[in-house]
Amino acid sequence: MSSVPNSTERPMTIDEYSRLSDLGRPSELVQGRVVEMNVPAGSHGKYQSNIGRALGRYLDQHDVGHLTGEVGVITRRDPDSLRAPDVAFYSYSRLPPGELPHGYWQVSPELAFEVRSQYDRWVEIVAKVGEFLSAGVQVVAVLDPQERKLHVYSADRPTLILGEKDLFQIDEFLPDVLPGCFLAVHDFLK
């Protein structure tokens, strides 16, 4: 990740970030600084789609919220940070059904997924996970395709590491939000 210099010395706000012209690369706003990221390799997108498809099958049967891919989540204010999980779930209690608000949403998802790419360092991933949890995301799951593991983080439990033969029992973490939801880790890794 490389930081893009601001035209001013003060940290950039989310509003200012939203008005930037396209930088030509993915980016996030981290403590008021634009941070460019590598364009993910093809396999990253495949794993991201696998996660969305697996969770989407549950949501086809249980219409309880919105499934999104790479939308900005406000993780901090003053200085502002806006991070984008690869896949996220917002319950209708946080983001009601119907037409979605324009711009960046003022609420955090309950569940966020990240896919670790070959370029990602664990120290950066763990810092991003911490930001999501501090911002009100209840569960953050990081898929590590190289190790074929899913690391599950929440604010109230120790990290859970699941192998490709395990089930991610989301309903144990979010029983009132995603009841009866359990997903096979191997479905993410196909």
pLDDT tier for residue 2 given thresholds of 50, 70 and 90:
very low
The 10s digit of each residue's pLDDT in 35-90 is 998 877 778 999 999 999 999 999 999 999 999 998 999 999 999 999 999 999 99
Q: Which architecture, in CATH terms, is 40-73+83-188?
A: Alpha-Beta Complex (3.90)
For the question of whether the overall pTM of this predicted structure is more than 0.85, the answer is yes
**8 vs 61 pLDDT, higher one:** 61
Residue 8 pLDDT grade (very low, low, confident, very high; cuts 50, 70, 90)? low
**Which strand (E) or helix (H) includes residue 66?**
strand 65-69
Name, in order, each residue with C-beta under 8 angstroms of 23's C-beta and a sequence gap of 6 or more: 4, 34, 36
Residue 150 and residue 32: Cα distance in Å, rounded?
30
14 pLDDT band (50/70/90 cuts)? very high
Residue 149 DSSP SS3: strand
Every domain of the chain and the residues it spans: 40-73+83-188
Distance CA 96, CA 9 (A): 38
* DSSP characters over 120-145: --HHHHHHHHHHHHHTT-SEEEEEET
Residue 1 has pLDDT above 50, yes or no: no
Q: Give the mean model confidence (pLDDT) for residues 117-138.
A: 94
Question: Taking all residues of the chain, what is their mean pLDDT, rounded to a whole number?
Answer: 92
